[in-house]
Structure 1
Amino acid sequence: MKRLQDKVAVITGAGNGIGAEAASLFAGEGAMVVVADIAGDAARGVCERIRARGDRALAVTVDVTEAESVKTLMDATVEAFGTIDVLYNNAGGSRPGDGTVVEVEMDVFWRTIKVDLLGTFLGCKFAIPWMRKAGGGAIVNMVSSVALMGTPGVDCYTAAKGGVAALTRSMAVTYAADGIRVNAIAPTTTLTQRIIEKLKSNPTAQRLSAKNLLGEPLPVDIAHAALFLASADARMTTGSIFPVDSGTLIY
């Protein structure tokens, strides 16, 4: 049997990059996938590609920083597919202008916190009640290797992802009795189109890339980690921060 057969999976930030790879992979493993992204056209494009091969998908436009938008996403999911079994809080990323606490502009800090930390918080807030009704589920959050080590020059992103890591552990304890597992992935620099562009000129991205012992992961490598954590293969795993870091954290 396919690993997510007949499960309902919501993936945010699924219009491109890691999220799009995860949507395709989850659908191929039998899931009914909700492709959620602030870029509606991108979400619809991913959805159409999944449907074209005979798998099940729904595209929803969402702003993960707005509570009502996230609630609407979860309500639309349940209306279309009846429940929520998996939530992959993939939306997020570093913001242009990130820097040190002394130098960074406050709007960059708050935007990063809203997209990465608040977005994850809201996804969980509105998905967990449906998972409870279903008798359990799996949540996969996105952290980053920068949250697990000292990385100069990205203090906003580090703070936001560190918050997601702490929230992941807290929710794992809180909702274990409901049969809800909560884990997170901590990728290193991953070769999405955005990162490929950053590697051309961003010193922080270049420093992190140089530490990758096995080279930079592809988006599909992160998607496979998310699939594992979402599936019954990880049924005894909760509260874990799962590095897909090409060895960056060992030296």
Structure 2
Amino acid sequence: MKKLEGKVAIVTGGASGIGLGAVQRLAEDGAAVAVADVNAEGAQQVADEINKNGGKAIAITVDVAKEEEVKAMIDKTVEAFGRLDILHNNAAWGPMNDKGIPEMDVDMWDAVMGINLRGPMMGCKYAIPEMRKVGGGSIINTASANGKVGDYERTAYSASKAGLMSLTRSVATQHGKEGIRCNTVLPGLIVTPATRRKFSTELMELMEEGNLTPYVGGPEDIAALVSFLASEESRYITGQEINCDGGVLVRAGAGAIMKYVRDKENN
């Protein structure tokens, strides 16, 4: 029996990148999965592929910044599969014009917070009552190494991810006795098609140099951690922030490397 057999999961931002990796791994481990994404066509393609391969999946179009759509996402999942056990709040936005404070576009700040922080909060708001009905569940939030350190830019994004870690602790504290766990995953650089389009080979090599591992991680590395946190194998883990970053945050000078990478990218 697969470790997530009989469980039902939602993954936001599930049509690509880290979310796609999580959807595929959760399905492989036996969960029925709702692929939730603002990209309706992409979500449907992912769900169709899972069903074609013998899994169970539905596609749900959702803008996580809109409360009515988040509520509908939960309702549609429960209607399709009868329950909800796992919520992976993964959808996020990191705009290119996210710079320093004096240059901050306040509307952009609010939009980032709406997607990256208010969205996961609303996911928790509507998922927790469904998890209570089945005796518990697991919520996994995707934050970022940026949420733990200062940065030369990405100010709004970093603040939103730091807030998401605080939200995780609150959910874990308030609902632990109900059997509902909540943890945060903090990816470092993860190689996705979008990453490869954005960065040159030279910049990728510089980023790899910032890691302690001899390689840069892929979506499958985050997906393995998400599946673990979704399962009973992690039943005694809650309220935690777990780095999955190749050790970049423990290396002295990592921030300087990232600044150099960004300067090269911008020039």
1:211 aligns with 2:210: yes
* CA–CA separation in structure 2 for the residues paired with 1:212 and 1:238: 27
Helix, strand or coil at the partner of 1:141: strand
| Aligned equivalent of 2:52 | 52
| Aligned equivalent of 1:72 | 72
Number of residue pairs the alignment of both structures matches:
249
* CA–CA separation in structure 2 for the residues paired with 1:167 and 1:132: 19
For 1:137, the aligned partner's letter is G
Helix, strand or coil at the partner of 2:246: coil
1:102 aligns with 2:98: no
Any gaps of 5 or more consecutive residues in structure 1? none
User: Sequence identity of aligned pairs in percent?
Assistant: 39
List per-residue Cα deviations over 1:22-72 (Å, max 9, x = no partner): 111111111010111000000000001100111111111111000000000
Helix, strand or coil at the partner of 1:217: coil
* CA–CA separation in structure 2 for the residues paired with 1:128 and 1:58: 20
* CA–CA separation in structure 1 for the residues paired with 2:75 and 2:113: 25
Q: Which region of structure 1 is more displaced relative to structure 2, 94-103 or 192-201?
A: 192-201
Any gaps of 5 or more consecutive residues in structure 2? 252-267
* CA–CA separation in structure 2 for the residues paired with 1:34 and 1:102: 40
Q: 1:3 to 1:85 in 2, by over 3 A?
A: same
* CA–CA separation in structure 1 for the residues paired with 2:109 and 2:236: 36
Q: Within 5 Å, which residues of 2 pair with 1:15-94?
A: 15-94=15-94
Give the superposition deviation at 1:131.
0.4
For 1:182, the aligned partner's letter is C
Q: Is the CA contact (8 Å cut-off) linking 1:199 and 1:206 kept in structure 2? A: no
Q: 1:155 to 1:139 in 2, by over 3 A?
A: same
TM-align CA RMSD: 1.6
| Aligned equivalent of 2:14 | 14
Helix, strand or coil at the partner of 1:233: helix
Q: Is the CA contact (8 Å cut-off) linking 1:188 and 1:208 kept in structure 2? A: no
| Aligned equivalent of 2:237 | 237
List per-residue Cα deviations over 1:133-165 (Å, max 9, x = no partner): 111000000110111122221111110000000
Give the superposition deviation at 1:200.
3.4
* CA–CA separation in structure 2 for the residues paired with 1:206 and 1:166: 33
* CA–CA separation in structure 2 for the residues paired with 1:10 and 1:25: 12
Compute the TM-score of the two structures, normalised by the length of structure 1: 0.95
List per-residue Cα deviations over 1:159-183 (Å, max 9, x = no partner): 0000000110111000001100000
* CA–CA separation in structure 1 for the residues paired with 2:207 and 2:132: 39
| Aligned equivalent of 1:224 | 224
| Aligned equivalent of 2:176 | 176
Give the superposition deviation at 1:209.
5.1
Q: 1:208 to 1:168 in 2, by over 3 A?
A: farther
Compute the TM-score of the two structures, normalised by the length of structure 2: 0.89
List per-residue Cα deviations over 1:175-211 (Å, max 9, x = no partner): 001100000100001112222233239x8x9976542
